[in-house]
Homo-oligomer: A and B are copies of this chain.
C-alpha cells in the first residue's frame, strides 16, 4: 500500500503497519426507529468485538435511518437522535478500546440537518463530519488513530470526488467511507468504476460500508467492500442482506478474515432486480407493521410475478391472492391463477365480480372504456374490502411500461399501498418470471409462475378477445421507445432517426403526457432504474409541451 506522507502522522509513518482488523457492519436500519437501530448496532458491534476487530464501521445515518426527508428538520427528532447516540456510546463502553464509527444526524450552525459521523470509544462520543464541518468553515475531514494506524473518515449518500479528496496527501493509511447508496441496475459496476477513478487522488485503500434494506422507494443493496490502493474492490460483502464483514489491513493491503469468504456473484441485472424488489417489499411490509399482503390474481404475467415475489418476500402463508373473474375472463386465466396458488401454497380465494358488475350496470348503463374501468374498479373495491376487514397491505401489479403510457385503471388495478414492479418494464417482467422459475427448477421445487402466464399474449380481459396489442405497440418496441424518450430524454426527431415510426412516437409522447395525473396517484414501489417515473422524471402535471418534428 501507498506509504503515508512522512511527517503528517508521525506515530505511524515510519514503522511497518501492524494488521488492523476492521469490521464493516452492513446494517438494515429503520427510519425514525432510534431505539431499534441502536439495538441493532449494539448487536453488530458485540459480534465485531468478539471477532477481535479494532474498529467497527457502520453506514451513513445508520442510527436514524436514511433518507429522513422532512423528519430531519424536527428538532425533537434531532435531540432524540443525539440523546440516543450518547446512550448507545454508554452501552458500547463494555468493549474497551474498540473504536466505532457510525453515521447519525447533525445540525449545522444555521440549522441545516446533515449526515454526521460519530466516533465512539470507551463510552465517549466525538462527533466528526467533513460535510458539516465544511458548513462551519472546517473542510479538512476527520482523521482518527486506531492501533497506530491513521484513518481518514468521510460520509456520503453518493461517492463523489468532493467527499474524498480532502484526504489526499494527508498521510492516512486508509479511508473509511460511510455510505448510503441505493440500488439501481448497473450501479455496482458504476461504483467500481468511480472508486478506481478516485484511487489516484485517494492513494490508500477505501473501506466502504453501505446500508442495506428498503426505505419507501429506495432499496439499498449493501455491496460494502474494501478496495486496494488502486481502487479495486478486493473484499466484498454479500448484497441484499445484512452482513458483518471482517477485514485485516496491513502494508500488504486488505484481506478477508474468513478463509471461506466468497466473492458475491458478479452483477446479473435480472437476478439483482428480483432480489432488490423482494427486499423492498419485505422491508416495506415489516417496517410498516404489516404481516400479510393481498393482491388480485388474474392469471396474467404481472400479477403472477408479483405473487411470486410476495411469496418470497413474506412467505406464501402471508399472501392472499384473489381471483376475481368477470364474464370476460378466459378459462385459461382462471386455471393459471389456480395453478400458481397450487404451486406456491398461498391463500387463494375467488370472488366473482359479475354480480357486482351487473348490479352497477343496471343503474349506470356504461359502455366502452367506462364499462371496462368499472370492472377494474370493482376488483379494486373487493381488495380494499379485504384490506379493511383483515388488514393486509394491498399490492398493485402495474409495470413500468403500462404506467408510462397510462394503460391502467386508476382506482381499479391501481389500488394499493405498494407496487412492487412499478419500475420494471414489461420486457423485464417476463425475464424476471423466467429467472424465478429457473431458480425453482434448480432447487427441485415447482415453478411458481405457470408457463402459460409467461407465454400467452398479454390481455387486460376487460372486453371479449381484448389484447394489449389492440391499444399498444408490442412491448419490444414500446420499451426501447420509452427508454429513449424518458430514460435518455431523446427528442421526437432523434427517436424517428432511431427508427421508430413517427406516428407511434407521437402517440406514445401524447399518452405519457396525458397520464402523469394517474402516475402521481399510483402507489409507491421500489426504484431499480435511473429513471423511475416518480423520483427521477418530475414531469409537470400541467404542460402544453409536445415534441415536434
Q: Is the CB of A32 within 8 A of B69?
A: no
CA distance A33 to B548 in the complex (A): 12
Give which listed residue, B216, B352, B411, contacts A381 with CB less than 8 A. Answer: B411
Binds B, one of A19-27, A222-230, A333-341, A369-377: A369-377
- Chain B residues closer than 8 Å to A74, beta-carbon distance: 489, 491, 545
Q: Is the CB of A36 within 8 A of B544?
A: yes
Binds B, one of A233-241, A300-308, A514-522: A514-522
Smallest Cβ distance from A518 to chain B, in angstroms?
9
- Chain B residues closer than 8 Å to A385, beta-carbon distance: 364, 366, 370, 373-374
CA distance A522 to B287 in the complex (A): 23
Smallest Cβ distance from A67 to chain B, in angstroms?
8
- Chain B residues closer than 8 Å to A477, beta-carbon distance: none
- Chain B residues closer than 8 Å to A407, beta-carbon distance: none
Q: Is the CB of A216 within 8 A of B540?
A: yes
- Chain B residues closer than 8 Å to A492, beta-carbon distance: 76
A541 interface residue (CB < 8 Å to B): yes
Q: Is the CB of B544 within 8 A of A31?
A: yes
**Total interface residues in chain A, CB < 8 Å:** 76
Q: Is the CB of B381 within 8 A of A31?
A: no
- Chain B residues closer than 8 Å to A359, beta-carbon distance: 355-356, 358-360
CA distance A382 to B284 in the complex (A): 32
CA distance A356 to B363 in the complex (A): 8
- Chain B residues closer than 8 Å to A367, beta-carbon distance: 389
A380 interface residue (CB < 8 Å to B): yes
A435 interface residue (CB < 8 Å to B): no
Q: Is the CB of A388 within 8 A of B362?
A: no
Question: How often does this chain occur in the complex, in copies?
Answer: 2
Q: Which of A29-56 contact B (CB under 8 A)?
A: 30-34, 36
Q: Is the CB of B69 within 8 A of A544?
A: no
- Chain B residues closer than 8 Å to A370, beta-carbon distance: 385, 388-389
A215 interface residue (CB < 8 Å to B): yes
Smallest Cβ distance from A218 to chain B, in angstroms?
10
CA distance A31 to B33 in the complex (A): 41
Q: Is the CB of A373 within 8 A of B384?
A: yes
A328 interface residue (CB < 8 Å to B): no
> What is the chain B residue whose CB lies nearest that of A491?
B76
- Chain B residues closer than 8 Å to A373, beta-carbon distance: 384-385, 388
Smallest Cβ distance from A359 to chain B, in angstroms?
3
CA distance A415 to B520 in the complex (A): 12
Q: Is the CB of A547 within 8 A of B360?
A: no
A315 interface residue (CB < 8 Å to B): no
Give which listed residue, B80, B369, B540, contacts A31 with CB less than 8 A. Answer: B540
A539 interface residue (CB < 8 Å to B): yes
Q: Could you give, for residues 535-549 of chain A, a 1 whenever the CB lies within 8 Å of some chain B CB and a 0 otherwise? A: 011111111111110
A483 interface residue (CB < 8 Å to B): no
Q: Is the CB of A411 within 8 A of B33?
A: no
- Chain B residues closer than 8 Å to A363, beta-carbon distance: 351-352, 355-356
Give which listed residue, B73, B384, B410, B520, contacts A377 with CB less than 8 A. Answer: B384
- Chain B residues closer than 8 Å to A384, beta-carbon distance: 373, 377, 410-411
A70 interface residue (CB < 8 Å to B): yes
A524 interface residue (CB < 8 Å to B): yes
> What is the chain B residue whose CB lies nearest that of A388?
B370
A97 interface residue (CB < 8 Å to B): no
Could you pull out 14 A-B pairs where Cβ atoms are within 8 angstroms? A31-B543, A33-B545, A65-B543, A67-B540, A70-B536, A70-B540, A74-B489, A287-B544, A288-B541, A351-B363, A356-B363, A359-B359, A370-B385, A377-B384
Known: A30-B544, A355-B363, A521-B521; 11 extra A-B contacts, CB below 8 A, are A31-B545, A67-B540, A70-B537, A71-B545, A216-B542, A288-B542, A359-B360, A369-B388, A411-B415, A517-B524, A520-B524
